[in-house]
Amino acid sequence: MLSVFLACDDPYEMACVALGDAEVMLGTAEEQYLPTASRDHRGAGVTVYIRVDAIDGIWVRHEAAGVITTPLSERPWGERAFDAVIAGYRFLIAEEART
């Protein structure tokens, strides 16, 4: 699954458009997600969320490339995920929660 999050000023006006497994969502533009110092940079306010089946090998390659910003860990919503910045764009790469 591939989803793109776009930061907006009013999180209560969030929206999502889906086509098959792809989604475009509006998210909050709070400092935590869109720091003031980053707002003028290419890719600011955009996070690409990719759900994969086997995250461990992907994690190793991204770690070796030095692009990881948040380590691989279980997230509050149950997925194992990590964050990376590649060419100025933010990626959230996640593996679906195991049941």
35 occurs within a structural domain: yes
What sign does the dihedral 21-24-30-32 (CA atoms) show? positive
How many structural domains compose the chain?
1
75 occurs within a structural domain? no
Q: Of the candidates 88, 3, 76, 75, which has an alpha carbon nearest to the alpha carbon of residue 43? A: 88
- 54 domain residue, yes or no: no
Please report the pLDDT score of residue 70 as a whole number.
93
Q: So what's the pLDDT on residue 55?
A: 93
Structure tokens, 68: 């990881």
Neighbours of 78 (CB within 10 A): 12
Question: CA-CA distance, 51 to 41, in Å (whole number)?
Answer: 25
Looking at residue 51, its pLDDT comes to 85
What is the pTM for the complete model shown? 0.67
Task: Quote the pLDDT of residue 72.
Answer: 96
* CB-side neighbour CA atoms (13 Å) of 94: 19
Tell me which residue range forms the domain holding 22.
1-42
Q: Which residue positions in the chain have pLDDT lower than 70?
A: 1-5, 8-15, 17, 19, 22, 26, 42-43, 99
